Structure formats: structure tokens, C-alpha cells
Amino acid sequence: MPRHPHYVPHGVIPAVLLPFNEDLSIDERSFRSHLRQVAATEGLSAITVNAHSTEVASCSFEEQCRVLDVAQDEIGERLPLVNGVWADGSLEAARIARMASEHGASALLVFPPAPFTLGQTPAMAIAHFKRIADTTDLPIIVFQYPLAAGQGYPRDTLLRLCEEVPTIRAIKDWAGNVPQHEMHIRMLQSLPRPVNVLSTHSAWLLSSLVLGCKGLLSGSGSVIPDLQAQLFRAVTENNLAEARRVNDRIYPLARVFYADPWADMHNRMKEALVLLGRLSRAVVRPPLVKLGREEIERIRAGLVEAGLLAAGASRHAA
């Protein structure tokens, strides 16, 4: 049973990181500390685990269970937990969804299956989501990828999914372009049963939010949940001056976190937390590799420009 049974995905939802020991095992002590730090932020609606930010692609099923259990134990009473469903096949996706439901998650974030890069049909997408929905009545967040990747759902497919799978309550929108993103917001949030659009356009978050998103779900919330909450509140209150002020602090970090290659975005966030003294080490699992000193210095400069680190700070990532 979910601990927060009436949760509908909305608002500010950071996706936390997953610390590792030098031997690449999960560093539970650091993970618990990280969860507490993020969850203490005012203005959050939930926390996401077992997603890109927790390097879910390199975690076994058993490790994903453990990640969710640790998060429940540490912050589950305080905030709903959104559990990622990362699987190439629908049977495994349903197995993960069932596990998440049994372990108290309040919503699911469903990633698109990798085979869709080779081409998909509406029937494939609907069958995938129905198989997941048949295992649990938890609200589903559809992770909308860019259409060019092959894993994004075209407009008509999205509409059919929302019509035929009633537990779909939100999308995490990574459309990647403004016209499509705005279309999603206007179309999905005005359905007879509205589907919330949660922005994950973290590289241009202010621009995205002013279009009318009902929330945001972002890995950079693992580092700046307070700034994201302040930005979302300012936008919803139509306080443009405050929104621009907060965005001026977010922008330097968006520039360094979301530089090429994007696969290193959460690698960079771990290094940022080390520089801030919130993590003791920044270990990532292969195929990711540790960042070089030059890039870590760019992250340090971004933290200074954002006002999160003193200009004279000499702390370096381990």
C-alpha cells in the first residue's frame, strides 16, 4: 500500500542521486544523509528514486528494491516517493511496478522501452502501459522523450494513452522544443481528466515553467531543491521579478550540469555535492567514469556564481 494513497504527481519533485562506495557498492549511509538533506527542503511534493539520477540502468532489481526501502525508511513518512520503472521489456516493467507498489511507492515514473528506438506503434505503447497498469493502481507518470530519439510518444499516441490508461496522471516532459512542450501543456492539462505536465527541461527551466507546467521533476533538484522550489513558487504567483532573480542563480549550474555529454549530468551533480561538503566522494558506476579536474573546476565556478560556494573555497572533489 502507498504511504500517501491520494497523491497526484504535481509540484516540485527532485530526483535524488545514489552514492556509491569505492568498490561500487551502494553507500547507504551517504544515501540516507542525501535523502534527509533534500527532503528537508520546504515546498516539495515528492521525491523520485530509481531514475536516471540514481543510475538505475546499472542497478539490479534487488538493488532497486533496496533503494526504495531505504528511502521509505528515511523519508517515506514525510514525502511521497515516486519510483522509476526502467525496463526494456513490458514483463520486467510490470515486475518493477508490482515491487514498487508492494514497497509503498506513491507513483511510478515509466521510462520508454529501449526497443522503441527502432520504431513504435500506438498499439505497442498502449500494451506496454496497460501491462504495467494491470499490476497496480498507482498513478503513472509517462516519461516523454524527444521524438527524434524514437522513444518519444507522438501526439496521437499520448492522447490514446491518457484515454485508455486512466491511471496515467502526469507526464515528465522532455520534448526538447518549445512548441511541442507548449502543445503538451495546453492539450493534456485541459483533458476531461487532466494529465499534469511536469517539466524536466532543467537547462531552460524558467522558460518552461512560464508556459504553465503543473510541476517539475528534475535530477538537479538533488543539488538545488530550494532554488527549484523558490522558482516554481515565484512562477505560480506570477512574480516575474523574483522568478528571474532565482533563475539567475540556477542558470550557471544548468550551464555546467547539462553540458555535453548529457550522460554525465548526474556525475557532475555528485561532484557538486562533494564540493559543497554534502557527499564524501563522487563515485559513479561504469560505463560512466570520474570527471577530470578541469571539469570539476568548472562545476566549482558554477557553484560560486550561483552563490552556493564562497569564491575562496578550496575544497575539491575526492
pLDDT at 312: 72
Half-sphere exposure in the Cβ direction for 27 (13 Å, CA): 20
Q: How far apart are CA 56 and CA 67, in angstroms?
A: 10
pLDDT at 313: 65
Low-confidence ranges of the chain (pLDDT < 50): 315-318
Closest CA to 17 of 2, 40, 33, 1: 33
Q: How far apart are CA 314 and CA 270, in angstroms?
A: 17
Q: Which residues contact residue 184 at a Cβ distance below 8 angstroms, ignoring those fewer than 6 apart? A: 144, 158, 171, 173, 175, 197
Closest CA to 273 of 294, 246, 302: 302
The string over 110-126, giving b where at least 16 C-beta atoms fall within 10 Å of a residue's C-beta and e elsewhere, is: bbbbeebeeebebeebb
Closest CA to 104 of 128, 132, 70: 70
Cis upstream peptide for 192 (omega within 30°): no
pLDDT at 5: 78
Q: Mapping DSSP to helix (H, G, I), strand (E, B) and coil, where does residue 52 land?
A: helix
What pairs with residue 196 in β-bridges? Answer: 170
Half-sphere exposure in the Cβ direction for 179 (13 Å, CA): 2
Q: What is the pLDDT of residues 227-269, one digit of tens each?
A: 999 999 999 999 999 999 999 999 999 999 999 999 999 999 9
101: its cell numbers: 507498489
pLDDT at 318: 40
Q: Do 283 and 22 contact (CB within 8 A), yes or no? A: yes
Q: Residue by residue, what is the 3-state secondary structure of 78-106? A: CCCEEEEECCCCHHHHHHHHHHHHHCCCC
Parallel, antiparallel, or unpaired for β 11-14 and 47-49? unpaired
Residue ranges covered by each domain of the chain = 11-243
Q: Mapping DSSP to helix (H, G, I), strand (E, B) and coil, where does residue 152 land?
A: coil
Closest CA to 204 of 238, 165, 233, 175: 175
Q: Which residues contact residue 221 at a Cβ distance below 8 angstroms, ignoring those fewer than 6 apart? A: 12, 13, 14, 15, 38, 228
Give the single-character DSSP code of 202: G
Q: Do 111 and 144 contact (CB within 8 A), yes or no? A: no
Q: How far apart are CA 157 and CA 123, in angstroms?
A: 9
Considering only the top CATH level, what class is 11-243?
A: alpha beta
Q: Give the sign of the dihedral formed by CA 257, CA 73, CA 100, CA 137.
A: negative
